[in-house]
Chains A and B, each alone.
Chain A
Amino acid sequence: MLVHRHDWSLQRKGYLDQERHRERVREAIRKNLGSIVANESIILSDGKKTIRIPIRSLEEYKFRYDYRKKKHVGQGAGDSRVGDVIGREGEGVGPGRGPGAGDQPGVDYYEAEVEIDEIAKLIFEDLELPYLEEKSKHAVHSRQLRFGEVRKTGILPHLDKRRTLLENMKRMAKETGRAQIGPLHKEDLRFKSWDEEIRYETNAVVIAMMDVSGSMGEFKKYIARSFYFWMVRFLRTKYDNVKVVFITHHTEAKEVTEEQFFTQGESGGTVVSSAYRLALEIIHQRFNPRDWNIYPFHFSDGDNYYSDNDEAVRLADELIATCNLFGYGEIGEEEYAGYRRSGGALLSIFTERLKNKDRFVGVRIDRKEDVYPALKAFFGRRGETV
């Protein structure tokens, strides 16, 4: 009996259908961006490149039994006893996980392995940086060499061997009628040539401000965190160099590390102007608006000390004057989604009283799903610049 071997190198069916599947995954992601943006496994991914997100629309639906409501036959290692717990629900143990006898359909909700960069690409598709152009004038530029052109003269170290041989073959084909390599003539020689390229290095700084007063709980911090996660990622796609300054405040503001920013305990009342004052100081000392694109963002629950409101508005105006965009996010209570605050909250005060509203964006976030619309509000396409 013979053993056959074929050349399968052109066989790509599996790969092609895998691509079809990936396309479907991408479509499903696009449809679910709202909930994916605030997905814990992304935000808390700590530099992981890929994440797994459950995507329901990719299941192959069939009429099947409710596996949670039926009995199953399993196999032990010889010591199983009635009453033994063999797994917890949702932990990957259970029926249908292996090629079981009845092949009962099991927990087959599909988890797509997706690169965070890919999700980012989808999210950022619709986003852009407002008011970027004018700042780029001030950007620092750097020189770089780039080989791009081919010439007939040059120095030997720059000889482009591949092109030279190609030219040689062309000439031989013309002369002898056959495309072959023959003796090299001077006219065959091709040289690489370089250009000097001037690149603009753009810098951006995000001034992340967050209220850590007593009323800012876990949920509110998480929202702020998801927002900053995507914002910094997004800015990095636009600028060569993105710096982030973290400021927390209750009645006083201070600059903190990223770690502290997201983990610090909460206490005390709220004086918003303290944060804006510190931000202005930092800009003044370290980030000259002529060289930097500046994006201050502030998250709070909107409960400012009444007497501080005037000062807050004044400083916010001042910030707006020095920055590309000033963003303010007011985070509501998760349980009270939809419930609107009275006129005393900061967002309504800002919308009423700010002098320069073109570069101010205020949004309200009540649920995780609101993060994506908030991103869009901050970085969505705008009609025209000021």
Chain B
Amino acid sequence: MSDAEIKALEKAIEEIWDKACELGLDPFPIHFEIVPATVIYEIGSYALPGRYSHWSFGKAYHKMKLMYDLGLSKLYEVVINANPAYAFLLEGNSLIQNKMIIAHVIAHVDFFKNNIYFSKTNRRMVDEAVTHAERIREYEFKYGRKTVEEFLDAVLSIQEHINPDLFIREERAEAVERPKPSPSKSGKYDDLFALDEPKRETSTKTDVEEAPRRFPPKPEKDLVRFIMTHSPVLEPWQRDIMAMIHEEMEYFVPQLQTKIMNEGWASYWHTRILRELDLTDEEFVEFATLHANVVSPRKGSLNPYYVGFKIFEDIERRWDNPTPEEIEKFGRQPGKGREKIFEVRQLENDISFIRNYLTQQLVEDLDLYIFELRDEEEWVITDKTWERIRDQMVADMTNFGFPVIEVLDGDYNGNRELYLRHRYEGIELDIEYAKKTLEYVYKLWGRDVHLETVVDGETLVLHYDGEEHWED
């Protein structure tokens, strides 16, 4: 890129920034950087610059890079949620492409800053990720690359199983420590216990009966934290790695929870902002082409850009021009569209966004449908009822698409074995995958592991003892 081009780009950024703020966007300061394709794909596949090394990132990188080399797909930008935010632009974008991307990026950063689900995210995560990478590198040096890699394989297999509810922080620390059967209770029957005291020392049986041990006290959804804290076999460096991965996942969870909204929001704003710029006819055509590319429906799967974009536009339209019924029933005033979408961007996540704002009209306009496998052979459209489509989308996004697995007992069989339960809600697990993942869990826990789930309406428990799988 020549200096003149850089100057032109800087000027465009100023102009778009001013326009965006004038329209009500409120982003963090942004650090813009032009990078070559190899770098943008690297940042894209690691999701953070300078993150630790693992072959799975290499695999993602290779895949993305290959798609780019073959001209099948292109990553125009990567935005990082941080303060200041980072925006990496692909070298070789034309000026008008960059204008659209810059508007898009500013809206993403506005979303990061103002959506409530991001309010607890670590805005210094880029630095944090780099120190994580350094520590992991040291461990590799100390314990061997292969050892660390195999350990990472195991941790990454359960990395999504953390507790993503960022608003309800439980008292952790000692609270989930393994409970000791302690007689020190204070209640109205204390004196009765005291009478029993001599007897209890000789008879352990009654002891078990009266204080059924629960460990954890209630089902624990955060597998990573539970195993990290209570595994009988992990070394300090291994617990450290788990803590780092837990921290990084906490940072990524809000992004997983707001994919449709975030992309919809950014697409909505790049359209609005670009409309307000003075573009030549040619520039406008190029912009329209790129925009159409980004927000076009994708066959067979949902394009989050498109769905989110359409919903935001629809919300704005409905709140700008409420029906007489809405005015009467909800006291809705016309012309409140802009205000409403800002409220939505602040308070919703994908689940509530879809549940509250995906209307029958939109489902029809977007031509959404439910499809499933018939006779193990063909994928067939089976339903176009809008409520069921909406509910299916919500179900698919619950726990960001992953089954909920809980620790039911960390001292199963009285032998510190680990008993997990899949909270079955009508969708079965991929059993082959579950078995392989159990092998990883075994590696982390060091004792027999068990997983309870449901197959064909019946409870099934998978067991793995480090050598063999069996089920009953």
Contact = CB atoms under 8 A, between A and B. Distances in A.
A100 B59 contact: no
B38 A8 contact: yes
Contacts of A125: none
Contacts of A105: 401
B58 A17 contact: yes
Nearest to A58: B59
A100 B304 CA distance: 7
A64 B429 contact: yes
B259 A74 contact: no
B437 interface: yes
A329 interface: no
A98 B56 contact: no
Given A63-B429, A85-B378, 7 more contacts: A61-B433, A63-B422, A65-B427, A66-B427, A69-B427, A84-B380, A101-B302
Interface stretch (B185-193, B277-285, B382-390): B382-390
Interface centre among A2, A23, A58 (most CB of B within 10 A): A2
A74 B301 contact: yes
Contact of A6 (B33, B41, B260, B405): B33
A89 interface: yes
A65 B429 contact: yes
Given A18-B58, A75-B368, A81-B381, A99 B301 contact: yes
Nearest to B8: A3
A80 B301 contact: no
29 contacts: A3-B9, A4-B32, A5-B6, A8-B39, A11-B42, A14-B41, A14-B45, A17-B58, A18-B59, A20-B58, A66-B429, A66-B431, A73-B302, A73-B393, A74-B300, A75-B300, A75-B303, A75-B307, A76-B297, A80-B367, A85-B378, A85-B380, A86-B379, A87-B379, A89-B377, A93-B300, A101-B260, A102-B397, A102-B401
A121 interface: no
Contact of B157 (A4, A18, A62, A81): A62
Contacts of B395: 102
Interface in A155-188: none
Interface string B429-472: 11101101100100000000000000000000000000000000
A332 interface: no
B61 A17 contact: yes
Contacts of B42: 11, 13-14
A84 B158 contact: no
A82 B428 contact: no
B249 interface: no
Contacts of A17: 53-55, 57-58, 61
Interface residues of B, number: 91
Contacts, number: 260
A74 B380 CA distance: 11
A2 to B, nearest CB: 6
A76 B363 CA distance: 11
B158 A3 contact: no
Contacts of A15: 38, 61
B208 interface: no
A83 to B, nearest CB: 6
Chain B CB within 10 A, most for which of A20, A85, A94, A101: A101
Contact of B379 (A6, A23, A93): A93
Contacts of A341: none
A83 B9 CA distance: 51
Interface stretch (B10-18, B210-218, B321-329): B10-18
A75 B382 contact: no
Interface string A1-44: 11111101001011111111111100000000000000000000
Given A72-B396, A80-B367, A86-B380, A61 B436 contact: yes
Given A1-B32, A62-B158, A64-B433, A72 B401 contact: no
B301 A20 contact: no
B239 to A, nearest CB: 21
